[in-house]
Structure 1
Amino acid sequence: MRVSPAIDHVASWYAASAHDAPARAALEGEVECDVCMVGAGFTGISSALHLAEQGLRVVVLEAARVGFGASGRNGGQIVNSYSRDMDVIEAKYGPDTARALGDMAFEGNRIIRERVATYGIDCDLRDGNLFAACNEKQMQGLREHKALWERYGHDRLELLKGDAYRREVNTDRYTGALVDHAGGHLHPLNLVLGEAAAVESLGGTIYEQSPVERLTHGDTVHLHTPRGVVKARRVVMAGNAYLKGVLPEIEGRSMPCGTQIITTEPLGEERARALIPNGLAVEDCNYLLDYFRLTADNRLLYGGGVNYGGSDPADIAGVIRPKMLTTFPSLDDVKLDYAWSGTFLMTLNRLPQFGVINGNVYFAQGYSGHGVTCTHLAGRLIAEVMSGRDERFDAFAGLPHLPFPGGRLLRVPLSAIGAWYYEARDRLGI
């Protein structure tokens, strides 16, 4: 049987600065377990860790390396809540659903911090993020955002009116900001690598270079890879945007999307702190938002934009560098050391998709840009539902998810037209 060459991490700053991690063997032959996770990103590893803590025999199958996908490439921002906030959820799905999801909206953040503390994971965890308004309409939105989150019990928020935002970010671009002191940022690849090591310390097994080619459903699920088979009583499909062709039932109601990131050369502490004095992670309030932060070695990491369908631009630096210079013109002389892209999965309603197929194949995906925190919540909820506590998992599983207009053929151009419309509104401040 022909086996594809080993797939390694993309050439990102995260990969270049990651802690040493073993190259794990591919699956050979047949193994049995209680639960098999497909995908070794945050969803799969978080689920595996919760389940291993319960004493279950867990196996993780990864097509490439631990953290190869979005979990090891993202902006590293710990952003609370979901890509659609509780006011939208309440308006569309009612107060009961809003309260159920609202009670969990800040939990993923806490789970990350618990994992870091419990297992001693070194991932450059820092506190605080900032939402920046580019016009007065967005500033009013931040006032409403603050009131909404406080209504759901989150009170570590600070509104910065007028030029007060310059305390946190030194640019002329904004009209105000909202600081979430409970948010933060980290090195996402080092976080997932640390969590994977924790899974293994509890007896779990992770196989890399082991793509799942097909499932055979039944009371025992058979997961076939190029060189082996896993027999599992239950399965967690955690491939997100990288899960293709294995479980068609969950692929038609979401769309892969690409986002791009650049990282400067080291700026030195003085120059770096002149940009973001207190080291907060920043994102603006535009529909196609920019996001940026300082790394532990005083680089500026800057990302932005969305490519619908997940394709990469020919020149990532050429797309993102002008955005960086719009925010920080003083960096015109700075060299870029890294530029990369990653693919995340977006749903039409921008809320995660949870569910179960045939009674023993669970899935969680489609975090729509809020994956760092939502994936960690997903891992806990999957562990809960497998132990018979289904209320919180079902709060997500009960959300309706419609396919994108236009189907697979037209969903990308139609989404791009919609994004152009909202981007134009952002520019005009309407």
Structure 2
Amino acid sequence: MSLPPHAPSYYAASGLPQPARPPLQGAVEADVCIIGAGYTGLSTALHLAEAGLRVVVLEAARVGWGASGRNGGQLVHSYSRDIDVIEARHGPEAARALGAMAFEGAAIIKARIAQYQLDCHFQPGGLFTALTARQVRQLEAHQALWERLGHRELALLDARETEAAVGSRRYRAGLLDRSTGHVHPLRLAQGEAMAFESLGGVIHEGTAVTRIDRGEPAIVHTAQGQVKARFVVVACNAYIGQLEPQLAARAMPCGTQVIATEPLGDRFPEVLPSNWCVEDCNFLLDYFRLSADRRLLYGGGVVYGARDPAHIEAVIRPKLLRTFPQLRDVRIDHAWTGNFLLTLSRLPQVGRLSDNLYFSQGCSGHGVTFTHLIGRVLAEAIRGQAERFDAFASLPHLPFPGGRLFRVPFTALGALYYDLRDRLGI
């Protein structure tokens, strides 16, 4: 059986060698069956395997095939709605609980890299940048909020300092977070998969799940086999399809695009001399960083559906040139798209579909760190410590207005509105 290829990304072209992971054949038993070998599934699996549980991971395509292997590779703290918004909407208790976990995901990733010697090109340092006076005030408020939560590794940079770090004159200020950084995201997923397997865990690629029979134990069915497990975790995010329609109806897959230039070599030493990753403060933000071989990886925007490479370059190259006009003749070697899962609240959806059937989805653009946090939290809940899990599970989630038929046009209209606000600086 041939596996679906990875997206035509720089990451796929520079990933780690991987072992064969044949499709599931026949019936097996496990303590936990996890559906999806992206960050959520792999993080949960690794925590559980470290605790001595028998874990089987089923993946319809390949390890890291979805958003986990296609994203910008930036470790960004907190959630897509920050703690002040959570407090205003859901009260001080929810804000305290989620605030206590807001910086944990990046720490888990860095600990995993050190513990398992993961070769994923980690580089420290992340920068939020402001293009308008209003956004400068937002950065100042952002710093104050996170410092109230005990996060002290921040520094506000003025326009000159930001230009020196980025190599662009676009920005009025920048907020440096020394505790974050950036990685090769597919190599991170691949390395975590091999760490899990080193502990006795099993991954079956090319193994789509066809249905889940509720019960104790639950039975997870595939085309050629089944897994009987005490617990099941659904970790499919934007690629869940119709496996669990009630989960698919709660959120919306959205596409984002990334391009990778040719290696810059020493031709443009002023481009990101800090080697920090960068994202701006716009609602439809741009994000960029250098790869280990000094390509500029640049992403941004949101579309509803995949695009071909020529279209992706046409969308992203103008953004790149607004930041780095000196790269007008640079060659684009890779262009790709991938889906992330957006919720109406912009907060992740976590919960149970039955007593032993768990799920997590809808990171809304903050998936790299949140998935690693929630993997630990899901493992805690499965082992009987559900307090932190319940802090997420108790958050209310409303459907998109107009149901599945109208969620895309309504959300696209909202994105256009906020894009206009960004352009006008209001």
Scaled by the length of structure 2, the TM-score of the pair is 0.98
2:316 matches 1:311: no
Give the equivalent residue in structure 1 for 2:152.
Answer: 155
Tell me what 1:358 maps to: 354
1:331 correspondence with 2:314: no
Q: CA deviation at 1:170?
A: 1.2
How far is the alpha carbon of 1:11 from its aligned partner? 1.3
8 Å contact 2:348–2:362 — kept in the other structure?
A: yes
* C-alpha distance in structure 2 between counterparts of 1:166 and 1:23, whole Å: 46
Aligned to 1:239: 236
> Which sections of structure 2, spanning at least 5 residues, go unmatched?
none
The correspondence for 1:112, drawn from 106, 109, 117, is 109
- Contact kept, 8 Å, 1:272 with 1:294, in 2: the verdict is no
Q: Which amino acid aligns with 1:373?
A: T
Q: Which residue of 1 aligns with 2:96?
A: 99
Q: Does 1:295 align with 2:291?
A: yes
Matches within 5 A, 1:10-409: 10-268=7-265, 270-308=266-304, 310-312=305-307, 315-409=311-405
SS of equivalent to 1:255: strand
- Give distance in 1, aligned partners of 2:200 and 2:50: 10
Distance 2:398 2:96 in 1: 22
Q: Is the alpha carbon distance of 1:156 and 1:257 closer, same or farther for their aligned partners in structure 2, counting shifts above 3 Å?
A: same
CA gap 1:279/1:235 in 2 versus in 1, 3 angstroms: same
- Give distance in 2, aligned partners of 1:263 and 1:164: 26
Distance in structure 2 (CA, Å) of the matches to 1:311 and 1:127: 31
Q: Supply the distance in 2 between the matched residues of 1:167 and 1:85 (Cα, whole angstroms).
A: 28
- Partner Cα separation in structure 1 for residue 140 and residue 404 of structure 2: 38
Cα offset for 1:273?
3.7
| 2:418 partner amino acid | Y
Letter in 1 for 2:25: E
Would you say how many aligned residue pairs link Structure 1 and Structure 2?
425
In structure 2, how many angstroms separate the alpha carbons of the residues matched to 1:144 and 1:387?
A: 38
User: How far apart in 1 are the matches of 2:2 and 2:123?
Assistant: 37
Alpha-carbon distance between aligned partners in 1 of 2:77 and 2:151, rounded to the nearest angstrom: 10
Q: 2-side partners of 1:362 and 1:272: how far apart?
A: 48
CA contact (8 A) 2:113 2:119 kept: yes
**1:6 deviation in Å?**
2.2
Q: Percent identity?
A: 60
User: Does the 8 A contact of 2:306 with 2:338 survive in 1?
Assistant: no
Could you tell me which amino acid in structure 2 is paired with residue 361 of structure 1?
Answer: L
Are the equivalent residues in 2 in contact too, given 1:235–1:360 (CA < 8 A)? yes
C-alpha separation between the residues in 2 aligned to 1:212 and 1:125? 33
RMSD: 1.0
Task: Describe the SS at the equivalent of 2:370.
Answer: helix
Q: What SS does the corresponding residue of 2:336 show, helix, strand or coil?
A: strand
Match of 2:416 in 1: 420
Distance, in Å, in 2 between the alignment partners of 1:218 and 1:387 is 18
Kept in 1: contact 2:36–2:235 (CA 8 A): yes
Partner Cα distance (2:402, 2:267) in 1: 48
Pairwise CA distance, 1:253: 1.3
Following the alignment from structure 2 to structure 1, what is the Cα–Cα distance between the partners of residues 365 and 39? 13
Q: Which shows bigger deviation, 83-92 or 153-162?
A: 153-162
Structure 1 stretches of 4+ moved >3 Å: none
Letter in 1 for 2:146: W
Query: Contact 1:267/1:299 (CA < 8 Å) preserved in 2?
Result: yes
